[in-house]
A and B are shown apart, each in its own frame.
Chain A
């Protein structure tokens, strides 16, 4: 019997043990990224929606007279952009720790939906200026889906409230 012949035989318990060990080693050394399946599901949803995925962009800031120091209760501001639209969100927290999200859209008015993962979704409408607010939100991962009155829907990557 030579090596090539062995390869053609049905798997026996030794093969299974080797494969099991290989799988354990692989998952130890190079594990499947956390939430990969969630992200795949999300990407599929996005495709189904035909929405553009916005990218995290850095916004040109004015030099202000505040330190960039970590101020726990201070608002964090992030901007996401596609070729056509920018979305800026600012997250702050009230005294009881519930989150508030203030948002600005360059695409003007539209429907805004916040997907809170396990905590369902919350919807609101951005006004003429593209301004919207969602308050009293739980902590956790979230992403926004924006459907402008005109143009394609835009979805942001996941961020944490």
Chain B
């Protein structure tokens, strides 16, 4: 029963209302519901609340003190917020409808307008939660017309909600504007919690608009605001961004934390949403089994929360995981199509389109191309709208359908359009996210392009090179210097040093180190790119041929087609295609060789040395016989590998021993980065803990006429070297971090120098020798996007890098390296100098160092 229009607000209700709103905002809906139901009961009976005193009167919307009817409407609305969180929008609807009816009977016109705005905005929330964003937006536009009747506290949620809805529609610019206005409103009125939410959402809008760096930077700033708000939605949002940034392990960790926080606060809906994205992260990490389990958890949470529309989104992720773990595509496709219909009925057309795309992909696998195209025809033009991933997946379905109809022209048109789309997207961002998208979706298209190329070797080569070159073209962007970040990196370095000095404290310091790494990674990705020049242009194949001819080299571009490994063998005159057999066998040979190399460094003496050496020789021979012998390449070689072959120590294969070999991400990048340097300035740096490092750097320095290092180097010396020298040689312990390649490091006197350190450093060095272990190792990030010390240096713009993909004995490095620099100073190119130096040494693993990138040499005076 509603109170009469002239009744006063009973004592204590104002306090319960305030407490209820605070607990709602803090993400504790059950507690809020209890407080607000109590307030409602006292408003209806007119009796004061025992033991509760009011510090402030009930917040009135008009000039006069609030009456009981006004208060009743407002308590109903806040209560409906708790109910939505706990039981879903349908359960909350009667409350809001009662509030609407009551609001219309309030006598004061100003208050009536203000209450009307509030009720409309709450109706919008219900529509939105039920998956009807357009209905919700219509309600909010009505509410926004009355905005001037409200104070800042009440204006705020309306702006915030409209921002959310505009994100869904999608109208990202409009959304960002709403959130920015809301944040400024909150900041001007000292509403810290509200400011936190608005800033966070503004970041989400920027993220949706593709501005990842600014989005992350806003989120980090919001996290600094002092507030007790539930961090579950904020962590969820940042988890999504990290996922996009390719920092998958960190993203999954944050999404797990967000889920736990949401469950602890009883926010089933939020927990369900976090779990959906967690499952998506697990899919990118290639763990469909975990993704399936997580998606099922999400569906259960969303069932409990009474959110059928969201539950169906969870179902879509679960289906994707099922398909990836081998479920029958036919059944999955049928289920996907049914889901699409349900989404359409909800009015959630974006989700419906995604479900149809998914079903179309499953049908494509079955060769049911006509049905697939029909499904897509019922969707928006997904080849032009939506995320890059969606656009590329759509093109793949359309291209395969065209090929099935033998319309190769149309199929090629789709593939080329996707490549152009990808190329443009890569130009705009320096972030890893696009590389992982490249891998996920471009791989399928690259394979299709290769299939469409037919049997001609030249056409196949062109197809391989097109995709390799776009994926490996690093945007010429560099983040600006950031003193705060530099301090954090220095702190991380000193913690690393502490662990090394006192290994017993490793456990105690681990959490601090992880937390610091997380902050640095986030800040690293939050930095805006400082574009210095536009995208590099593709290198035409005739130019590549001319360069190969000029250098007397043969290029081998590997590719996997239909589970078989093949290679285009390119010389200045002709291109051949050679089939190399099942790709799976080659993967196993690589794993075996990798284990043998690792074992060889592990054993220094005893009978095991012979066993491991024999095994290593056999493995190297077997891989050589499988991937190189059929290609019949004798002299200088440029290898463009597939991901499985990216970390092979080519110099350890018998046919490459003593022969110059270079590994390049694409032929275009090999040509583009070629350098000839006159009178190079060289710097040699030694790290601690290696018996031969100072002797090695002394030898290297004397080759280049530089003073030998008097002492062990600190990380500052490395940055200075990269900024001021042409050649930088580092002899140090190295460590590759597969969980977070950005923290792969070289150990110097003041602790580890991370790849994250070098990101912002000025660089003039064009040739860097990393005489350390594992610097050439790479880590797949969501597929073939790789990052490690050597590839990291290449993407930072160093044209030529020498590093080893495996462990190397200290004595071997010290023996090979001065010889290598001598040969380089004598005018040999990097690959020739390395081959000569390695074959002159009889120590184990002398051939482990690899020349990466482009040709580099010293010009004769």
12 examples of A-B residue contacts, CB within 8 angstroms: A62-B844, A63-B691, A66-B735, A67-B747, A70-B506, A71-B735, A71-B736, A75-B595, A88-B612, A96-B287, A102-B592, A130-B611
- List the 3 shortest-distance A-B pairs measured between CB atoms, nearest first: A66-B773, A102-B595, A62-B809
Say whether, besides A60-B603, A90-B595, A105-B611, A96 and B773 are in contact (CB < 8 Å).
Answer: no
Q: A86 vs B612: C-alpha distance in the bound complex, in angstroms?
A: 12
B599 to A65, Cβ gap below 8 A? no
- Tell me whether B604 is interfacial, beta carbon within 8 Å: yes
Which A residues are CB-close (under 8 A) to B773? Answer: 64-66
Interface size counted on chain B using CB atoms at 8 A? 49
A62 to B595, Cβ gap below 8 A? no
Q: A86 vs B771: C-alpha distance in the bound complex, in angstroms?
A: 32
Q: A102 vs B247: C-alpha distance in the bound complex, in angstroms?
A: 30
Q: A105 vs B605: C-alpha distance in the bound complex, in angstroms?
A: 15
State the Cβ distance, B787 to closest chain A Cβ, in Å.
14
Say whether, besides A62-B603, A95-B287, A129-B618, A67 and B735 are in contact (CB < 8 Å).
Answer: yes
Cβ-closest chain B residue relative to A70? B506
How would residues 76 to 108 of chain A score, 1 for a CB under 8 Å from any chain B CB and 0 otherwise? 010100000010101010011100101011100
Which B residues are CB-close (under 8 A) to A60? Answer: 603-606
- Tell me whether B808 is interfacial, beta carbon within 8 Å: yes
- Tell me whether A131 is interfacial, beta carbon within 8 Å: yes
A67 to B734, Cβ gap below 8 A? yes
- Tell me whether B598 is interfacial, beta carbon within 8 Å: yes
State the Cβ distance, B686 to closest chain A Cβ, in Å.
11
A72 to B739, Cβ gap below 8 A? yes
Which A residues are CB-close (under 8 A) to B732? Answer: 65
- Tell me whether A61 is interfacial, beta carbon within 8 Å: yes
A90 to B615, Cβ gap below 8 A? no
- Tell me whether B591 is interfacial, beta carbon within 8 Å: yes
Which B residues are CB-close (under 8 A) to A106? Answer: 607-608, 611
Which A residues are CB-close (under 8 A) to B810? Answer: 62-65
How would residues 585 to 607 of chain B score, 1 for a CB under 8 Å from any chain A CB and 0 otherwise? 00010011001101101111111
State the Cβ distance, B597 to closest chain A Cβ, in Å.
11
Tell me the chain A residues, 46-72 only, with Cβ under 8 Å from chain B: 59-67, 69-72
Q: How large is the interface on A (under 10, 10 to 19, 20 to 34, 35 or more residues)?
A: 35 or more
Tell me the chain A residues, 3-31 only, with Cβ under 8 Å from chain B: none
B592 to A59, Cβ gap below 8 A? no
- Tell me whether B265 is interfacial, beta carbon within 8 Å: no
State the Cβ distance, A95 to closest chain B Cβ, in Å.
5
Which B residues are CB-close (under 8 A) to A97? Answer: 287
Which B residues are CB-close (under 8 A) to A70? Answer: 506
Partner of A65 from B289, B607, B807 at Cβ < 8 Å: B807
- Tell me whether B223 is interfacial, beta carbon within 8 Å: no
Given contact pairs A61-B604, A104-B611, a sample of 11 additional A-B residue pairs in the complex whose CB atoms are under 8 Å apart: A59-B604, A62-B603, A62-B811, A64-B601, A64-B773, A66-B773, A66-B807, A75-B598, A77-B602, A90-B599, A129-B615
Tell me the chain B residues, 161-198 only, with Cβ under 8 Å from chain A: none
A77 to B599, Cβ gap below 8 A? yes
Cβ-closest chain B residue relative to A132? B615
Cβ-closest chain B residue relative to A105? B611
Cβ-closest chain A residue relative to B689? A67
- Tell me whether A137 is interfacial, beta carbon within 8 Å: no
Partner of B618 from A86, A90, A131 at Cβ < 8 Å: A131
Q: A102 vs B733: C-alpha distance in the bound complex, in angstroms?
A: 25
Tell me the chain B residues, 744-763 only, with Cβ under 8 Å from chain A: 747
Residues of B within 8 A of A (CB): 285-287, 289, 506, 588, 591-592, 595-596, 598-599, 601-608, 611-612, 614-615, 618, 690-691, 731-739, 747, 771-774, 780, 807-811, 813, 844
Tell me the chain A residues, 118-149 only, with Cβ under 8 Å from chain B: 127, 129-131, 133
- Tell me whether A158 is interfacial, beta carbon within 8 Å: no
Cβ-closest chain A residue relative to B289? A96
Which B residues are CB-close (under 8 A) to A64? Answer: 601, 773, 807-810
Q: A91 vs B90: C-alpha distance in the bound complex, in angstroms?
A: 54
Main secondary structure of the interface of A (DSSP, over half): loop
Q: A148 vs B184: C-alpha distance in the bound complex, in angstroms?
A: 77
Which A residues are CB-close (under 8 A) to B809? Answer: 62-65
Say whether, besides A72-B738, A104-B612, A59 and B602 are in contact (CB < 8 Å).
Answer: yes
Which A residues are CB-close (under 8 A) to B736? Answer: 71
- Tell me whether A43 is interfacial, beta carbon within 8 Å: no
A104 to B287, Cβ gap below 8 A? no
Cβ-closest chain A residue relative to B779? A73
B598 to A131, Cβ gap below 8 A? no
- Tell me whether A74 is interfacial, beta carbon within 8 Å: yes
State the Cβ distance, A44 to closest chain B Cβ, in Å.
30
Which B residues are CB-close (under 8 A) to A105? Answer: 611
Q: A32 vs B539: C-alpha distance in the bound complex, in angstroms?
A: 72
Which A residues are CB-close (under 8 A) to B808? Answer: 64-65
B608 to A73, Cβ gap below 8 A? no
Which A residues are CB-close (under 8 A) to B618? Answer: 127, 129, 131
Q: A18 vs B615: C-alpha distance in the bound complex, in angstroms?
A: 63
State the Cβ distance, B610 to closest chain A Cβ, in Å.
8
Which B residues are CB-close (under 8 A) to A77? Answer: 598-599, 602
Which A residues are CB-close (under 8 A) to B595? Answer: 75, 90, 92, 102, 133
Q: A86 vs B286: C-alpha distance in the bound complex, in angstroms?
A: 37
Say whether, besides A102-B592, A104-B599, A69 and B605 are in contact (CB < 8 Å).
Answer: no
State the Cβ distance, B503 to closest chain A Cβ, in Å.
9
B734 to A65, Cβ gap below 8 A? yes
A73 to B738, Cβ gap below 8 A? yes
State the Cβ distance, B803 to closest chain A Cβ, in Å.
11
Partner of B690 from A61, A62, A63, A69 at Cβ < 8 Å: A63
Cβ-closest chain A residue relative to B600? A62
A67 to B733, Cβ gap below 8 A? yes
State the Cβ distance, A134 to closest chain B Cβ, in Å.
12
Which A residues are CB-close (under 8 A) to B506? Answer: 70
Partner of B602 from A61, A86, A96 at Cβ < 8 Å: A61
Partner of A88 from B599, B731, B739, B747 at Cβ < 8 Å: B599
Q: A60 vs B602: C-alpha distance in the bound complex, in angstroms?
A: 8
Which B residues are CB-close (under 8 A) to A104? Answer: 599, 608, 611-612, 615
State the Cβ distance, B394 to closest chain A Cβ, in Å.
27
B608 to A66, Cβ gap below 8 A? no
State the Cβ distance, A64 to closest chain B Cβ, in Å.
4
Partner of B615 from A66, A67, A92, A131 at Cβ < 8 Å: A131
Q: A92 vs B595: C-alpha distance in the bound complex, in angstroms?
A: 9
Which A residues are CB-close (under 8 A) to B733? Answer: 65-67
Q: A72 vs B738: C-alpha distance in the bound complex, in angstroms?
A: 8
Which B residues are CB-close (under 8 A) to A100? Answer: 591
Q: A90 vs B810: C-alpha distance in the bound complex, in angstroms?
A: 21
Q: A133 vs B774: C-alpha distance in the bound complex, in angstroms?
A: 23
Cβ-closest chain B residue relative to A97? B287
Which A residues are CB-close (under 8 A) to B605? Answer: 60
